[in-house]
């Protein structure tokens, strides 16, 4: 029905009929909407404590409202502290390492799985690569501590057999970031490949048939058919990855880092936790979190514009 030519009453009736017709589908999104409202929108009121001297204690919303205003005091305090440069550089380096080294791996895995002809082997590979995703970072950190322990860990036992000294990898500034990326790939590569596999299955199979008739080999089919076919998905996922540059994987770093690796591992999320939750500096931590969110928003918009200029649709 043409909306412009429909009277308000007629359109309202039509809209109500559609809502009633698909009422069960609409009801399915209600829990998600409630969760987003309660845990995403309602807490936004608390952002004001970044501009107030909020000391915690009771009071809830009333306590926040009654806290005295201090303006940009906590923002200036953070920018002038020794932690600003360290947090920003660590967050940027670790996030860029994730984009460069982790981001392509699910794409590569999805293409490799798609090329497997044996259905049983394909399912086995998918299951094996998906399983680590369902382990919590607490469990993964425990496994890594056992494997990399300088006292009896398999990796260091092997090093000693080769005549080398054992290394406490998780307390080593030189190795910590590399271990973060390796553990990220091992844990999430299978789950991350799902969206790309779904995109590959949507590529027109007639294109592959025509390419084979023209003599194209597997690599040429991947380059000229598969990758262009999922380019939009790759663009959207890259935009989202750039938007998470400052978000970091708090669970991963928190469970793996220690005071010995703060210099190379401490990021915005972990510092906010230590100062805000553990240290009780709520307003100071809120100011840091607000700065981080603002920069993340700018990065998302910037990445979206770049992908649009490169020919993709983007997300906005």
Give the number of domains in the chain: 2
Rounded to whole angstroms, how far apart are CA atoms 124 and 296? 38
23 with 149, same domain: the answer is no
- Percent helix / strand / coil, the chain, rounded to 5: 75, 0, 25
Query: Is residue 44 in some structural domain?
Result: yes
Non-local (6+) Cβ contacts of 135 within 8 A are 187
Quick one: pLDDT at residue 55?
Answer: 80
Which residue segment(s) compose the domain that 44 sits in? Answer: 1-50
24 with 155, same domain: the answer is no
Encode the chain (316 residues) as per-residue pLDDT tens digits: 444 444 455 778 888 888 888 888 889 999 999 999 998 888 888 888 889 888 876 666 777 888 889 888 999 999 998 888 888 889 888 888 988 999 999 999 999 998 888 889 888 998 999 999 999 999 999 999 999 998 888 999 998 898 888 889 999 999 999 999 999 999 999 999 999 999 998 888 888 889 888 888 888 998 889 998 998 889 888 877 877 776 667 889 999 998 889 999 998 889 999 988 888 888 999 998 888 888 777 777 777 777 777 666 666 6
92 with 184, same domain: the answer is yes
Query: Is residue 135 in some structural domain?
Result: yes
Q: Which residues of 1-21 are buried (b: 16+ CB within 10 A; e: fewer)?
A: eeeeeeeeeeeeeeeeeeeee
Query: Is residue 69 in some structural domain?
Result: no
Query: Is residue 73 in some structural domain?
Result: no
- Is the distance from CB of 261 to CB of 173 less than 8 angstroms? yes
Map tokens 């271990």 to a residue. Answer: 179
Rounded to whole angstroms, how far apart are CA atoms 296 and 247? 8
42 with 159, same domain: the answer is no
Q: What is the pLDDT of residues 131-184, one digit of tens each?
A: 999 999 999 999 999 999 988 889 999 988 988 888 899 999 999 999 999 999
Distances (CA, A) of 70 to 48, 62, 266, 279: 11, 17, 27, 20
46 with 124, same domain: the answer is no
Angle between helices 83-97 and 176-201 (to 10 degrees): 40
Structure tokens at 254: 């928190």
Q: Residue 52's beta-bridge partner residues?
A: 69
């Amino acid at each position: 029905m043409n909306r412009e030519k429909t009277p308000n009453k007629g359109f309202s009736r039509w809209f109500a009929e559609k809502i009633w017709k698909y009422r069960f589908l609409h009801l399915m999104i209600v829990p998600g909407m409630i969760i987003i409202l309660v845990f995403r929108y309602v807490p936004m009121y608390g952002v004001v404590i970044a501009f107030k001297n909020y000391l915690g204690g009771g009071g809830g919303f009333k306590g926040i409202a009654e806290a005295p205003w201090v303006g940009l005091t906590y923002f200036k305090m953070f920018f002038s502290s020794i932690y600003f440069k360290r947090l920003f550089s660590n967050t940027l380096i670790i996030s860029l390492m994730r984009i460069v080294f982790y981001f392509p791996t699910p794409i590569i895995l999805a293409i490799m799985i798609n090329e497997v002809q044996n259905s049983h082997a394909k399912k086995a590979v998918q299951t094996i690569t998906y399983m680590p995703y369902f382990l919590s970072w607490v469990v993964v950190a425990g496994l890594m501590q056992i494997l990399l322990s300088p006292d009896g860990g398999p990796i260091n036992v092997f090093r000693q057999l080769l005549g080398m000294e054992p290394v406490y990898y998780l307390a080593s500034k030189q190795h910590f970031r590399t271990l973060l990326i390796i553990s990220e790939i091992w844990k999430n590569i299978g789950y991350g490949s799902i969206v790309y596999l779904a995109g590959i299955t949507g590529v027109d199979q007639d294109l592959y048939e025509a390419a084979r008739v023209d003599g194209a080999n597997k690599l040429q089919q991947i380059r000229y058919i598969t990758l262009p076919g999922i380019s939009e998905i790759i663009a959207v996922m890259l935009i989202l990855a750039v938007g998470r540059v400052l978000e970091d994987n708090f669970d991963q770093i928190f469970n793996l880092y220690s005071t010995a690796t703060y210099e190379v591992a401490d990021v915005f999320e972990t510092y906010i936790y230590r100062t805000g939750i553990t240290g009780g500096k709520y307003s100071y931590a809120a100011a840091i979190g607000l700065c981080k969110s603002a920069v993340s928003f700018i990065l998302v918009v910037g990445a979206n514009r770049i992908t649009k200029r490169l020919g993709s649709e983007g997300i906005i």
